[in-house]
Every structure is written in structure tokens, then in C-alpha cells.
Chains A and B, each alone.
Chain A
């Protein structure tokens, strides 16, 4: 009896395992179908298009090898400017946003009363995040007769034409990015809550001041979170689009012609989908490379508690 029932039990187990898988696939089926139709296939097509001069309007294009890339790197002056603008944006906006996010998260982590209200209030700008409404509002704030210049006027200063000057326009977008610190802040907040209290307590007993506690405990314990936020913000920083599209339209003098905006211009305004696809793939490569570099560097500065083993 026992001998006979063994393989049977085994078989049943295997078949029920298969059935579980089937049910699983069925559940994610709709997502899989949509993923292949709307994400994977378009990505593959865009890779193919990047070696052609495909034009949306004529719905035709020919294989032109690496010409698109040659044009991008050696001939297109606006491409160089869009790379410049994007790099400047990422270099300033990403750290600024992370610093703001961490600062506010620490404030919200210490307060006790009514802290929920503040958390919601500080997160609100990010919910409306990349939306058109915020961008339109930003235009008003930094416009000629906007809030900023009105305030400066009260102080007796004549404010510059923020959105019209090539030196200042990009900064309005960087400030906008810093102001939308909600989602990294929330993640920082969760990270802060996870730092064991006893570390601070023993540090305090040892006479460490607030600054030392921040430098020696908070920052190292938070490095995995900083790492995660840095990667996420780097990626979204390179892909910035809506703000420039609505607030500045890439102007003046292409100082806010962010990469994604330029890709859009080429693809949908000038119908050069082949060239735009090539640009998009270069961007993908650059983001992938940078992300890999950050990952590589992480072993030098990211501190995982589990590395230390049990204490």
C-alpha cells in the first residue's frame, strides 16, 4: 500500500504544482498580453527604427545604418544643446530634490503632534507631480507679473524675466523639481523609522551631539535608501519632459530643451521617428550605464546591516 501510494502522491503533487502555475499565468495573463503588445513590441520596433530614416507621415523609411547616430553626435547642434540642458538639470535637480526630501523627512520624523497633516501637506505637491496643472501654475508664479516678481517688487527689487532669460529659465524648472520631493521623502521617512532607536540612545549616552548622530548613525543606516532614491531620481531626472513642455517649451535658446522634449519634437512635430528612436536608444544606454556605475559604486558607500552578520 505504502509503496503504491508514493508515486501517486508524487504525481498528484506535480500536477497540482503545474495547475498552480497555470492559474498564476492566467492571473498575470492580461498584464502579459498588454506588456507584449504595448511595451515589448514597441521597444523592439523602436530599436529597428533607429537604424532607419522612418518618417511618420510618409509611413516609410529605409535602412541607413548608423547615419542617425553620426548625425546626432557630429552634426546636430540642437542635440548637443539638449544633452547640455539635460545634464545640467540632472546634476542640480536630483541632489537638490534628495537633500530637500531627506531634510523634510527628518523634520517630520521628529515632530509628534499633527505630524500626519504635515506629511500629507508636504506630499501633496508630488501627487499633482508631473501634471499639466502644476506646470501651468509654475508659469504664473515665475511669469513677469507672477508671485515671485511681485514679492521681489514689495522688497524693492525688480525681478528678472525668469522664464525669458537664458540664464534663469532652467532654474525655475530645477526649483520645481526640488519642490516635488514627496515620493523620495516618503521613502526616506520609512527608512528613518527603521533605524533602531537604541543606536541613538547609546550614542547620546556616549555624548554624541545631534550633528554627530546624523553623520555617524542616520546617514550610514540610510545609505540603502539613499541608494534606491538616487537611482530612481536619476532615471526620472533624465526623462524630464512635462515641465519643460508646458513651462518653457524648450526655450529660450534651447536652454531647457531637455532630451525627452527634443525626442518628442523630432518624433511628433517633425515626424522623424527613425532619428527620434535612435536618440531614445542612446538615452536608454546612458541611463543604463549610469545606473550600472551607481550600482558598482554602491559597495563602497552603501551600508547593509546584514553584511555585518549577527551582533
Chain B
């Protein structure tokens, strides 16, 4: 009997031991989740490890994934009340998340100085504001870019175009590359990002109306012209065929054709040059160009917060999370590791300290953002809550795919896209 009793006590101790040990360590666990490429994962983890070294009382538990899985996972966690303390957020989604009460306003931390924004320009912070409150700290400035492989251009005997190149010039160049080098000019250009900003160039409009309740452009013709050009390029090989891109699947920025020298140009976000150049090899030479514009049109580029760190309303340790965000944005050490992979850092102190030590990819990106700052279109309101539905239910399956597979002409598809997208937007 006594034996059994001592056995029970032993068992109880064994069961409680891990808890006791954890309590003895007395570390605060801060959970964080982001999306990105392998390059970002490596850099972010290295930065986190440094932070833990500097703050032994903090244990940062991280999760990372690709763009699509990020939202799937986080929205499921939101429903279960299991959101991490810090989540990486995006301009396209932040409004929806704020509307659902899932993010915490950061104004208190900014006022008290826990998150120091004294070296950050107001214009860089504005993107994280929803209804007058700050919900996301911008991690870098970004713009869409056409990256050109200068070695391939030289090999094909093509001169680099002017910075305000037109779509017509672009089409000629893509075709020339195909005929001179036998590789594609560029990968597919059917991204919904290009659709959203396309009407800035010709018509000073945006895919969505300012209130987000309908489409924001009136004339389908520019879109029809653009997709007619894509069909011509697909036919000539100046652009990778849509079929080929489907067969390859979505394998991230590091799998872009320019990396494997199967294309001489690439379209992506400016911060992704770090991952692209890293994957391509240091011996390659790239130069970044703005998006081509229509004849006589204006810039289709705008400067966007690449991504935010937000604190969720389900965070267990918001104070510690805020301190980490402050370090992430303002620390020179941290940003040396992060190497502007999330875009040009917003803190002027960090930017200045990085300038002398920039690698070729970062230098090109800083220079490019400088060019865009001189000539751009103003950023439009964050995407409406139904954006994901418009893209997932209509834009990709009912417009891009049927058009690029030749099932339906752009002339027929564009009005249908308008009609269906308006229906979804109006029903929000």
C-alpha cells in the first residue's frame, strides 16, 4: 500500500516536472508568423536568434509559410482564437482584418515610445493606418518592377530602353529577345497586381472604385488591348505561355524564369530582387525598370508598404511583441541581417547606416525606389474586403485562364469580368 502511494507521488512529479521546469525558466513566449521566400525565412530566423540572445527572457516562437498558406493558416487560427502575437500583414488584407476586429491599434505604443517612429517619414507610416488608427508598422517600401538581365540584353544586341518605356517598346524588346536568343522575353504577365494598377497608366484610375463597392475603371478597351498584347506575345514566344506557367506551378520568386536564364526580363515586387539575385548568383547583372506605360501615359508605379508587422487582438504578450517590432524596424544590427529583403527600410537612420555596405541587389533596389519616388502615381485605398473573392472566383478562373487558353476573346471576357466583379463587390 505504501509502495503504491509513493508510486503515485513519483508519477505526479514526473507529470508536473516539465511544467515546473518551464516555470523556472521564466521566459515570455512571443509568437510570430510571416510569409515569404526561403531567403526571407533564413534572414528572419537569424534576426530572431539575435534578438533572443540580446533578450534572454524572451522566447520567440516562429512560423513561416508561402503567401497563400499564410492566409489560410492565419484565418483558421483567428477562428480558433489562436492567432500569434505578431503577424506579417499586407496592404491588400489589412482593412478586412481590422474590420473583423482581429488587429490591435498600435497608437498607444507609438505615443509611449515603445515603438519608435521618430525616424520614419509619415508617408511611410500612412499605409498602416485604417480609420485614423495605426494597425501595421511598415517593414519596407516597395514598388512593382520589371527587372532586366543586362547580360542577356547585351548578348542579344538590344539597347536598354529609356526609363519611361512604353508597352509598344516592351513588346518589341520581348520579341527581339525571343528571336535573337531563343529564350522568352519574360514570364507570364497575368498577375492581378498588374490588372489593379494597369489603369493608372492610361486613365489615372484603379481597378477598384474609391469606396470599394465597384470596379474603378470605366472603359474595358485598355484591358482588352493589354490582353491582346499578351496573346500576341504568348504566340510569338516573347512571353512564356500561360500553359507553361500552369505546368510549372507556383514555386515562388526564386523559380522565376530570369533566375534560370530562360527569360531576359522578370516582373515582380522590388523587394524580391534580393531573393531573385541571390538565387541567380552574384555574377549576374540586373537593372530595375518601372512598369512600361501607354504611349503618352503616366507612371503605373506606386510606392506601397511592402508588408506590415501587426499585433493581433488575440496576442498574449502585446507589450513584448511591440518591443520586438521596434527592434526589428529600428535596429541597425537587425537590418544588417535582414538586408532590406522586405523592401527599402523605412527608418532613415537604418537606411543611412546601410548605404555604404549595400550589396548589388540592395543598391539597385535603393536606387530604383529613388527613381520611383521622382515619378509615380499616388497609392490607392487598400483593397476592398471582397478582393480575394474577386480574384479567386472571377478574375483568375473566368477571365485570365479562359482568355490565355483561347477559349474566349478578351473582347468577350472583359465585360463579363466587369459584370461579375461588380456583383461580388456590391454584395459585400
Contact = CB atoms under 8 A, between A and B. Distances in A.
Do the two chains belong together in a single complex? Answer: yes
Interface of A: 56-59, 77-78, 139, 143-144, 161-166, 249, 251-254, 265, 268-271, 273
Interface in B243-288: 243-250
Interface string B377-420: 00000000000110011000110011001010000000000000
A163 B72 contact: no
Contact of B244 (A58, A77, A164, A253): A164
B109 interface: no
A251 B99 CA distance: 32
B204 interface: no
Interface in B350-399: 388-389, 392-393, 397-398
B405 A269 contact: no
Nearest to B81: A59
B401 A270 contact: no
Contacts of A164: 241-247
Instruction: Pick the most buried of B247, B397, B407: most chain A CB atoms within 10 A of its CB.
Output: B247
A61 B76 CA distance: 15
B78 A59 contact: yes
Contacts of A269: 68, 71-72, 388, 392
A139 B389 contact: no
A163 B250 CA distance: 13
Given A57-B78, A59-B79, A163-B246, 17 more contacts: A57-B75, A143-B247, A144-B244, A161-B244, A162-B247, A164-B241, A249-B249, A251-B246, A252-B405, A253-B405, A254-B397, A254-B401, A265-B392, A268-B72, A268-B75, A270-B388, A271-B75
Contacts of A139: 249
A144 B75 contact: no
Contacts of A144: 244, 247-248
- Chain A contact surface mostly: loop
A143 B243 CA distance: 12
A268 B77 CA distance: 11
Given A78-B397, A271-B75, A252 B100 contact: no
A77 B75 contact: no
Contacts of B315: none
Nearest to A76: B393
Counting chain B CB atoms within 10 Å of each CB, the highest count among A161, A265, A270 belongs to A270
Interface of B: 68, 71-72, 75-76, 78-79, 96-97, 99-100, 102, 241-250, 388-389, 392-393, 397-398, 401-402, 405, 407
A57 B78 CA distance: 7
A59 B81 CA distance: 10
Contacts of B102: 57
A265 B102 CA distance: 22
A57 B79 contact: yes
A165 B245 CA distance: 11
Contacts of A268: 72, 75-76
Contacts, number: 71
Given A164-B246, A253-B407, A57 B96 contact: yes
Closest 9 CB pairs of A and B: A164-B247, A164-B243, A163-B247, A58-B100, A268-B72, A56-B79, A164-B246, A252-B246, A57-B75
A57 B96 CA distance: 9
Contacts of A251: 246, 401
Nearest to B99: A58
Interface core residue of A57, A139, A161 (most chain B CB under 10 Å): A57
B282 to A, nearest CB: 26
A251 to B, nearest CB: 5
Contact of A165 (B243, B398, B402): B243
A161 B79 contact: no
Contact of A56 (B78, B247, B392): B78
24 contacts: A56-B75, A56-B76, A56-B78, A56-B79, A57-B97, A57-B102, A59-B79, A78-B397, A139-B249, A143-B248, A161-B243, A161-B244, A162-B247, A164-B241, A164-B245, A164-B246, A251-B401, A253-B397, A253-B405, A254-B401, A269-B71, A269-B72, A269-B388, A273-B79
A256 to B, nearest CB: 10
Given A56-B76, A161-B244, A252-B405, A270 B250 contact: no
Contact of A252 (B76, B79, B96, B243): B243
A270 B389 CA distance: 6
Quick one: which of B71, B97, B246, B401 has the most chain A CB within 10 A? B246
Contacts of B79: 56-57, 59, 273
B401 A253 contact: yes
A59 B99 CA distance: 12
A56 B247 CA distance: 32
Nearest to A168: B247
Nearest to A58: B100
A78 B398 CA distance: 9
Contacts of B99: 58
A270 B100 contact: no
Contacts of B407: 253
Contacts of A265: 392
B401 A252 contact: yes
A162 B249 CA distance: 12
A225 B73 CA distance: 41
A133 B290 CA distance: 39
- Chain A CB count within 10 A is highest, among B75, B248, B401, for B75
A268 B247 CA distance: 24
A249 B247 CA distance: 10
A77 B398 contact: yes
A253 B97 CA distance: 30
A303 B250 CA distance: 50
A163 B76 CA distance: 30
A78 B102 CA distance: 30
A22 B247 CA distance: 58
A58 B95 CA distance: 12
B72 A249 contact: no
Contacts of B244: 144, 161, 164
A277 to B, nearest CB: 13
B243 A249 contact: no
B405 A249 contact: no
Contacts of B97: 57
A269 B72 CA distance: 5
Contact of B405 (A56, A58, A166): A166
Contacts of B245: 164
Contacts of A253: 397, 401-402, 405, 407
